[in-house]
Chains A and B, each alone.
Chain A
Amino acid sequence: MTGRARDDAGGASVEFALVLPALVLLLAVVVGAAGVATTAVRVADASAVVARQVARGDAASAPATLAELVPGATMTTVGVGEFVCVEVTVDARLAGPGTTVPVTSRGCAPRAGR
């Protein structure tokens, strides 16, 4: 009985040692992905706001608005027929340095003041 108890204890420790790194890695990925998702929400919001701003004839101050909403983001403006579409892209950090993923969102608004 004591032998079995000792076997169990050792097995559990080895088990724990094997599983723990995997759990920590998983946790790191989830935390990193949550950060990327937060950035993606801000990028989605910014693309809609900036598209509206450009479509309403205030393209000059759009970069300043974008810099305030999502620091470091870049934007490209595309005219699609009667719409103005703005694609906002920023590199979001997943975990440590060097593990960035590009996050992009497209917002469109109808041209006004024609």
Chain B
Amino acid sequence: MTRPRGTRLRVLLDDTGGAGVVGVALLTAAALLSVALLAAAGLLVERQRTAGAADAAALAAADVLAGLEVGDPCGRAGAVAAATGHRVVACALDGPVTTVTASAVGSGPLVSATASAGPEADEAGPGGASAAGVYGVHVDHAGR
């Protein structure tokens, strides 16, 4: 609109069109950055869900170890995790304490959370867990 009339050659040579390319590039970069940020936010949400599943799975396995439930501790952890669409990728038993790593089905190793459950230190006497023991849950946020 600000171009002088009758200067077709100058119009071809000047940078007015180039500025449009810069604007489009800027918008594209901003849009890509936004998409990346939103994807990261989605992963954080999924991680919180996975942490909840890992907590529940670890508690269920600890219940079996404490004699409150019967069955296989890690199998029980897997069943609990499956209720919210998660799976157990690691399950370790250390005395009355269970440590379970869960991840969302289909998410691969991208999102996982680890939780430990067992009797609180005061309750875990030489005999192991007391059946009425209070259970503490610790979520390890070192998981990816």
Docked complex: A1-39 residues within 8 A CB-CB of B: 3-4, 6-8, 10-12, 14-16, 18-19, 22-23, 26, 29-30, 33-34, 37
> Does B41 make an interface contact (CB < 8 A)?
yes
> Does B5 make an interface contact (CB < 8 A)?
no
Closest to B53 in A: A48
State which of B4, B23, B27 has its C-beta within 8 Å of the C-beta of A3.
Answer: B4
Question: Which range contains the number of A residues in contact with the other chain?
Answer: 35 or more
> Does A89 make an interface contact (CB < 8 A)?
no
Top 8 A-B residue pairs of the complex, sorted by shortest distance between their CB atoms: A48-B52, A37-B41, A108-B83, A11-B16, A44-B48, A19-B23, A15-B19, A11-B19
Please list the residues of chain B having a beta carbon within 8 angstroms of any beta carbon in chain A: 1-4, 10, 13-16, 19-20, 22-23, 26-27, 30-31, 34, 37-38, 41-42, 44-45, 48-49, 51-53, 55-56, 59-60, 63, 68-69, 76, 79-80, 83-84
